[in-house]
Amino acid sequence: MVGASFKRRDELREAQADEIEEALRKGELESGKGLNQELGLARAGDTRWGSHYKSFNNFILMFGPIIDVLDAIAVNARFEEKCRAKGYLRTCLAFEVVFMLHFMRNVLAITNDLNAAYQKKEQDIANAMLLVGVAKDRLQRLRDKGWNSLIDEVSEFCIKYDISIPKFDEFYVISGRSRRRVAEYTVLHHYQVYVFYQIIDWQRQELNNRFDEVTTDLLLGVSCLNPIDSFSHFDNEFHPDDFDKYSMVDLRFQLENYIVDVRDHDKRFSNLKGLCNLSKILVETKKHGTYPLVFRLVKFALLLPVATATVERVFSAMKLIKTDLRN
């Protein structure tokens, strides 16, 4: 609605500037260099979770200007665009949308640091794996103690923009049904159990599936192959499926030789900056032929994030053909 017209983009910028000026006048914002920068409505990507967090966050921060622009379009635009704008405006001013905006922003904020860590070119795998545990713990704390603070945050937002707040002790009316055909549970039960608890549980399950015990052990173990930390966490425990019982014996002795070699003898390995750099040096020094099983472990660590991202893109592309009509 906005991006197709330079005039509407300018209106959005002006509305955003007016809101910031009003907030500064009331003392709700601080002024200073680098503060209160102009925001944009970032389009969420199918394969980058971080983009969804940015989209939710910017939408909340720009909610007032967005409403102003939609309201202007609903009054001044052509009939078709006027109808679309009214529909978007009605949707934005619904409690359910406001609740989901704040809730999903809070959930994705928890995993945002984890996403950023795994998207870096040089990955610190040990710290990235710790962030998995941090994300799981914070999601559990949100589930246990975050409901009241979320409702307070959403209610304050609704009051600010004059959005109707439902009575939580009334029966929930399922969208698309007649108000005479209500659900057998309350509004509170719907939002707390069927939305709040369920989405957090889905997110925790997703993390458990992506970072199961085998994958975690493999990543942590392979990260110790980098001599930059003098193999301080090395415990000689590797159990990927690609090694049979005979290779496992060879691997153990190869690892011990590798550690002594690159730590105490070969100074070319003294200034590494991650596993990518390690793999290059192994090839350049031809030690990938000397320690082929160790080199295979390094390749596992480098390929695993790529394989995960590839699967994500495949499932995103399936949306083009896996439609309701096709089903």
Residues 228 and 298 in one domain: yes
Residues 43 and 73 in one domain: yes
- Across 226-250, average pLDDT: 55
Question: Residue 308 has what pLDDT?
Answer: 57
Question: Residue 188 has what pLDDT?
Answer: 94
Confidence of residue 118 (pLDDT cuts 50, 70, 90): confident
Rounded to a whole number, what is the largest CA-CA distance in the chain? 80
Confidence of residue 230 (pLDDT cuts 50, 70, 90): very low
Question: Residue 34 has what pLDDT?
Answer: 43
**Residue among 261, 304, 305 at smallest CA distance from 286:** 261
Overall domain count for the chain: 3
Cα angle: 322, vertex 326, 327; to 5 degrees = 85
Record the tokens describing residue 60, joined without a space: 């909340």
> Residue 323 falls within a domain, yes or no?
no
> Residue 178 falls within a domain, yes or no?
yes
d(CA 173, CA 162): 21
With 0-12 CB in 10 A as exposed, 13-18 as middle and 19+ as buried, what is 178? exposed
Residue 150 has pLDDT above 90, yes or no: yes
Beta bridge partners of 171: 186
Residues 36 and 70 in one domain: yes
* Distant-in-sequence, close-in-space partners of 120: CB < 8 Å, separation ≥ 6: none
Tens-digit pLDDT profile for residues 50-105: 678 888 888 888 888 888 888 887 777 778 778 888 888 899 999 999 999 999 99
Number of neighbouring beta carbons within 10 Å of residue 4: 8
At which of 49, 78, 93 does a domain end?
Answer: 93
End-to-end CA distance of the chain: 31
Residues 135 and 207 in one domain: yes
Beta bridge partners of 156: none
Residues 80 and 150 in one domain: no
Residues 58 and 135 in one domain: no
> Residue 111 falls within a domain, yes or no?
no
- Across 136-162, average pLDDT: 93
Residue 294 has pLDDT above 80, yes or no: no
Confidence of residue 246 (pLDDT cuts 50, 70, 90): low
316 CA to centre of own chain: 16
Question: Residue 30 has what pLDDT?
Answer: 47
Residues 230 and 201 in one domain: no
3-class SS at 205?
A: helix
> Residue 102 falls within a domain, yes or no?
no
> Residue 131 falls within a domain, yes or no?
yes
d(CA 266, CA 246): 28
237 touches 221 (CB < 8 A): yes
Residues 207 and 226 in one domain: no
Residues 289 and 312 in one domain: yes
> Highest mean pLDDT range out of 112-126, 187-201, 207-221, 224-238?
187-201
Tens-digit pLDDT profile for residues 278-288: 777 778 888 77
199 touches 103 (CB < 8 A): yes
Record the tokens describing residue 305, joined without a space: 């994030």
Record the tokens describing residue 28, joined without a space: 């709700």
Residue 128 has pLDDT above 80, yes or no: no
In terms of residue numbers, what domain contains 242? 220-318
Q: At what angle do helices 292-317 and 275-284 cross, to 10 degrees?
A: 130
114 touches 48 (CB < 8 A): no
Mean pLDDT for the chain overall: 75
Residue 106 has pLDDT above 60, yes or no: yes
- Across 156-173, average pLDDT: 91
- Across 118-135, average pLDDT: 72
Beta bridge partners of 186: 171
- Cα-Cα-Cα-Cα dihedral sign, residues 324, 316, 136, 96: negative
At which of 211, 234, 259 does a domain end?
Answer: 211
> What's the whole-model pTM score?
0.62
Residues 243 and 195 in one domain: no
> Residue 109 falls within a domain, yes or no?
no
Residues 12 and 58 in one domain: yes
Q: Which residue pairs from 277-282 have beta carbons closer than 8 angstroms and sit at least 24 positions apart in sequence?
A: 277/122, 278/225, 278/226
User: What DSSP assignment string belongs to 165-198?
Assistant: PPPTTSBPPPTTS-TTS--SSBHHHIIIIIIIIH
Residues 294 and 230 in one domain: yes
- Across 203-227, average pLDDT: 72
Range from 190-199, 226-235, 248-257 carrying the lowest mean pLDDT? 226-235
> Residue 324 falls within a domain, yes or no?
no
d(CA 82, CA 58): 24
> Residue 203 falls within a domain, yes or no?
yes
Residue 153 has pLDDT above 50, yes or no: yes
